[in-house]
Every structure is written in structure tokens, then in C-alpha cells.
A and B are shown apart, each in its own frame.
Chain A
Amino acid sequence: MLQLKQVIKKYGARRIQFRDYQFEKGGQHAIIGASGSGKTTFLHLVAGLLRSDEGEISWNEKSYHSFSQNDFDEFRSQTIGIIFQRPHLIRTLNVLDNLRLAAFLSKNEVDDQWLPDLLEKLGLAGKENQSVTTLSQGESQRLAIARAVVHRPELLLADEPTASLDDQNCDRVLQLLTQVAEETGATLIITTHDQRVKKIIDNTIELIHEPI
């Protein structure tokens, strides 16, 4: 269970105050907010990439304040999967090796069939040895999703996964995300300004921030 209490992040004079949230295990949530409202900041806080200036975030009752740098590395490698606004694939590695890299860095044992299964599920079968630079934008996005769930994270975070996609691809990606999250038992949190998300994900919350 992920919990946020009176979390505030300051960027110099800019102060972003987040609502209190509670995300139950296995739930699927969309957090809607306008550009610049702090969606990315929110996900980075949850992923431990950023530290909050005030308030408290906790995972399974364990406060982030108690996490050391190493704990966060460990936490990310075991518990969290993130999909960023851009796919950020490793361009020097091929499709399969991008997944293998994720498995390697997570230090989790991955059974042989899981990676091909994932590629299959995400419509990338047959592209294992292709350079990622040759993938289309949609394919890249799907590979980024696959990479985020290689280690079967408990918490799957996606930052505007549909931003640059047309309606058809938008639906497909959202369906894949929810499906993969379901299959791996992950809690899914999507941030977006894309109203199309509401069609697929019932549980939508407005990212309320009150600049003070």
C-alpha cells in the first residue's frame, strides 16, 4: 500500500503541494493534471527519485524518510517499475537485451520464457534481435512497458504513456498496461493530462495542487 500525507515539493520559490492519497495493492489509478501541475514530480517522489520537502510518503507502512540511498536503489530494483514520458531505451542494445538489462539490474531471477512471453504480449514478437533504433514510436513505447515489468514490480508507474499516441494506440497501450498490471499483480498508477484515459481506467483522481 502506497500512502502520501501532506507531501510538499519545493523548486526554489515554486511549491507543489499534493493531496493525500492512499493506493491499495492491486488497484489501478489515473492521476489527471494539466501540464506543469506536477505529475512527473509526483511519480518521481513515489519512485524515490526525488525526496519530498515536507510530508510523508510510505510504502507498506514504511516511511520513505527511513530509506537510505541504497535502500531506494534496492526498492526500485525490487518493487517499482517506471514508464517515462519518453521510452528512453538503451540504443546500443537490441530489443531483447534491453529487457535482459532490466532483469540484470533488478538482480531478480527471470525464467527463460518470461521475456519472450512479454514481447509476445506487447506485440513485439520476432523483433528480439532488432536494434531499438529501428522501432516505431508505438513499438518503443510498448518495449518500455515490457522493460518496466520484467522484474514483476508491485508498483507500476507510468508518466503520460499516451501523450504522443493516436486514439488507437492510446487504447492499446492503456489496455496493455492494465492487463500487464493485472497479470503481475502490480498496483498501477498512471499520471496524465489525457482525458482519453478515463475511458479505460475508472479510478481517476485530479492531481490537486495548491500553490501557496
Chain B
Amino acid sequence: MNLFKIVWSYLAAKPLNTFLNVFLMSLGVSIITILLLLSTQFEERITKNAQGIDLVVGAKGSPLQLILSSIYHIDYPTGNIPLEEAQKIARNRMVKQALPMSLGDNYQGRRIVGTDTAYLSHFGMKIQEGRRWEKKMEAVIGAEVAETLGLGIGDEFHGAHGIGGGGHVHDYAAYTVVGIATPTGLIPDQLILTSLESVWHVHDSHDHDHDHDHDEDHKDHDHDNGVHQHGNNHDHDHDHKHDDQKETKKNKAVATSPSDDSDGEGMSFEEIQRLQKARAAAQAGNVRADDREITAMLITYRTPNAVIQFPRMVNQIGELQSASPAFETARLFNLIGIGVSLLQGLAYVIVLVAALSVFIALYNAMKERKYDLAIMRTMGASKGKLATLLMMEGAVLAFLGAAFGLILGHLTISLVTGFFSQTDTLGVDGQLFLVQELYLLIGAVVLGVISALIPAIQAYKIDISETLAEG
């Protein structure tokens, strides 16, 4: 026999009451837990993924949408921008790094991102197996893609049009997985990365094969929310010099495939720029300007001063807009923050109601419990022991409620993220436990003790003689 066993016997004797109290407490605590887990992990992931990116340049539209689509890969891109304009911006002396991105296709819901290999370095993606892309239609897949889609080195796949799964399949040009990146815990783990040229190639072929007629106004053309890459059709036989030069760097096996002689594959953005310049020179006299497009460009500043001047400069260019990840995510947090605060407020109210319910239950129980308490006193229990008994009861109820609440919160998050794992790019881990949860548990127990305080004082003050004389 011990105090806990006595407490437990009282709780077990009133299962419905006990259930209600535990349920209410666990409801409140689980909501708080969910919000806690979501907001901390969400905020952390949001910030981490935007690290080192000072500005995103893309097509005009919602700046938040631009940020979401190009950094977090959760919204549709705002459109495309001319490569030429992007290059001009990239050459600005305030720019330290400019990562081009061309979106528009997916493979089984995983976005295919045309970019250059500096992208991998920027997000700390090393190659755990295979190598980086060197030629057109070679792809490096994020660790998570490799795991969930079961793709391995040498596997081929066809991109589908659109960014969210489904869509028309580009079945004439297959990507080959040449590398698997190390996991970074960042969103690029969920991406398929390739060269800009691959993305252009797929859409160039697409244009040929399907003989879509495109007018010059590209913006009319995002009917299916994907972003088409409309390029002019380059003749692929200029600047052999460069190709040869590249060829020598490649390993033999790859180099032997003769069909792959396109321009710019596996090059850094700087290289592409050089290439484009060379091409422009070679094509001197050709009136048609290079109208390749990219979707967005992730920019890192060279100097902090750029924050003031640079975005303004970008925004002055007709079709372009710039968006600051820091600013836009702060705006997003503010928006979400209101909802979170509201829910949190509600959760705390539920917890308080739970505490009130514990109080009412114990307070009411005192009427029938007073004989028991008095009899315990006659058996030698001190006043303090009776008060402890009542406070323990409040504490046990609150502890059970809080413990179930924590478990419930984690389960909910695990279930929800498990359920949406296909599309979830801001994965929140249900298995992660935070220190705040310990505080939550302790806080709930303290609250349970507090709600038992008045009954405990009654127990402390009980007049044994009078109580037992009544009976």
C-alpha cells in the first residue's frame, strides 16, 4: 500500500470522471504540442532552406509565390524570365553568386530542377553515389527521392509536364540518374537536379514533336500551371571547339555517346554565360536574339549594401521582380502567427478548463470523501498526508492528460506527415521531442496540483471528530 495506490483507487472508482479530466487535458496539451512541433520545425526549416539566399529574381507576380516556388518548391512559379536579363543581373558586381533555376517538369511528383552544379554546393549536397551531371539529360537525385522512389544510378525516367505530379509525359527524352546526393535535411533532398540544358532540351523536343504553335508571348502560355520552357531552336553545330574541350574532361564511357553534343551541359552558370557570349559572337549578324528562359535565379550578395540598391534595380527591369526570402518568410510567419496564436489561445483555454474540471471533480468528491479522509486521520495519517493525497490526485490526472496529449500530438504529426509525405516538402518530424514539451508536462502537473489545492486545504482542515460523529 502506498499513497499512489490510494489515489489510483479513487481515480479507478470514477472512470468517466477520470476519463473526462484526462481527455480534456490531453486535448489541450496535444494542440499545444502540435503547434509547438509545427512552428519550431517549420520556422527552422524555412530559415535553414533560405540560408545564403539574399534575393530571388523571377517573373512578376506574387513575391511570396516566387519565394515559395523557387526555394521551398511548394507553389507554382510566377512564370519565366529571359536568360539574357538574368545574366545581366548575375554579372552585377554586387552579386556573389547567382543560381539559375528552370522548373516545369516533375517525375512522380518530384520536381525536376534545371540548374548548375553550384546549386549542389550551395545546399551542401555532396555526391554519395555516382557523380554530378556532365551531359544533357543526366540527373542527380536528392537522397529522399532516391529512397522513396527507389531510383538508383543508371536508372532512366521520363519527366512529366507540370510541377505537381501527373501531366503530359515527355516520353521521347529520358533522364538518366548519374548521381545520388547526400541527405542535407533540406528541401533539395526531394528534388531531381539536372542541367539547364536538359530542361531546355526536353521542352525544345517537346515543341518540335508536338508541333505546338507558340506565339511570341510566352506568358499566355501557362495554361496548366507548369512553366514551359520556350526556347528558339538552336542549331547545335556551332562552337564545336567548346564541346571538344569539354569532351576531353569526360570519362570515356560517357564521351562515346555521339548523340550528346548539345551545348552547355554540366556547366556552371558562369560557363553558360561565357558560352552564351561566345554564341552571340558567333552568331553576329543573326538578328534573332537568344531567347532562352529560366524560371528564377537565387542570388547571394557580395556586400550587405546590396540589400538597399539591388532589389530596386532588378524591379526596374520590365519583366522581372525580386523577392527577399527573409522578408517574405517573415511576412508569412506573421500571417501564420495570428492563426497559431489563436489556436494556441484556444488550447490554453482547454487546458484551463481541464484544470477547472479536475478542481470541480475533486471538490465534489470531497463530500463523499470526507469520511474516508477522517478515518485515515484516526488511523494516524497526518493533515499533510491527506493534503498530499488530494494534490497527488490532481497531479496524476494532469500528468496522465499531459502525457497522453504529448503522445497524441506526436502521433498526429507523424500520421499527417506520413500521409502527405508524397507532397510534403516542409516535412515536420513527429519523432522529434522538444525541451518545451518537458516544460509543458511539468506545467500541466503543477496546474493539476493547483487545481487540487482547495480540496487539499479542505482535507487538511477536516474536523475528524465532527465528521465521524455525523456518520
What residues make up the interface of A, taking CB atoms closer than 8 Å to B? 40-41, 44, 47, 49-50, 69-70, 73-74, 76-78, 80, 82, 84-86, 88, 90-93, 97, 100-107, 147, 151
Contacts and interface: CB of A to CB of B under 8 A. Distances in A.
A93 to B, nearest CB: 5
B148 interface: no
Given A85-B471, A104-B2, A76 B10 contact: no
B469 interface: yes
Contacts of A86: 471
Nearest to B382: A73
Nearest to A93: B9
Contacts of B465: 44, 49-50
B12 A92 contact: yes
A100 B379 CA distance: 11
Contacts of A90: 6, 9, 372, 375-376
Nearest to B3: A104
Given A50-B465, A73-B381, A105 B9 contact: no
A80 B5 CA distance: 24
Contacts of B372: 88, 90-91
Which of B380, B464, B465, B471 has the most A CB atoms < 10 Å from its CB? B380
6 contacts: A47-B378, A73-B377, A73-B380, A77-B381, A90-B372, A101-B376
Nearest to A83: B378
B6 A101 contact: yes
A105 B380 contact: yes
A98 to B, nearest CB: 10
Given A69-B383, A92-B12, A92-B13, A49 B378 contact: yes
Interface of B: 1-2, 5-6, 9-10, 12-13, 371-372, 374-383, 385, 464-465, 468-469, 471
Contact of B380 (A78, A84, A100): A78
Contacts of B2: 104
Contacts of B9: 90, 92-93, 97
Contacts of A49: 377-378, 464-465, 468
Given A49-B468, A92-B9, A92-B12, A101 B379 contact: yes
Nearest to B2: A104
A102 B374 CA distance: 13
Contacts of B10: 92
B379 A88 contact: no
B382 A76 contact: no
Nearest to A100: B1
A97 to B, nearest CB: 7
A74 B379 CA distance: 9
Nearest to A90: B372
Given A88-B468, A92-B9, A97-B9, A70 B375 contact: no
Which of A70, A84, A103 has the most B CB atoms < 10 Å from its CB? A84
Nearest to B381: A105
A91 B469 contact: no
Contacts of B377: 49, 73, 76
A107 B1 CA distance: 11
B380 A107 contact: yes
Contacts of A78: 380
B4 to A, nearest CB: 11
B375 A88 contact: yes
A156 to B, nearest CB: 13
Nearest to B11: A92
A41 B466 CA distance: 10
Contact of B468 (A69, A84, A97, A105): A84
Nearest to B368: A91
A102 B12 contact: no
A93 B6 CA distance: 8
Contacts of A88: 371-372, 374-375, 468, 471
A97 B377 CA distance: 17
A106 B347 CA distance: 44
A147 B376 CA distance: 11
A69 B462 CA distance: 13
B464 to A, nearest CB: 5
Contacts of A82: 378
A97 B378 contact: no
B379 A102 contact: yes
B151 to A, nearest CB: 61
A82 B465 CA distance: 12
The 5 A-B residue pairs with the shortest CB-CB distance in the complex, in nearest-first order:
A77-B380, A104-B1, A92-B9, A100-B1, A92-B13
A41 B465 CA distance: 8
Nearest to A102: B379
Given A90-B376, A91-B13, A103-B1, 20 more contacts: A40-B469, A41-B469, A44-B465, A49-B465, A69-B383, A70-B382, A73-B380, A73-B383, A76-B377, A76-B380, A77-B381, A80-B378, A82-B378, A93-B6, A93-B9, A101-B376, A102-B379, A104-B1, A105-B379, A106-B379
B118 to A, nearest CB: 71
A102 B378 CA distance: 10
Nearest to A85: B471
A77 B9 CA distance: 22
Nearest to A74: B380
B375 A76 contact: no
Contacts of B380: 73-74, 76-78, 105-107, 151
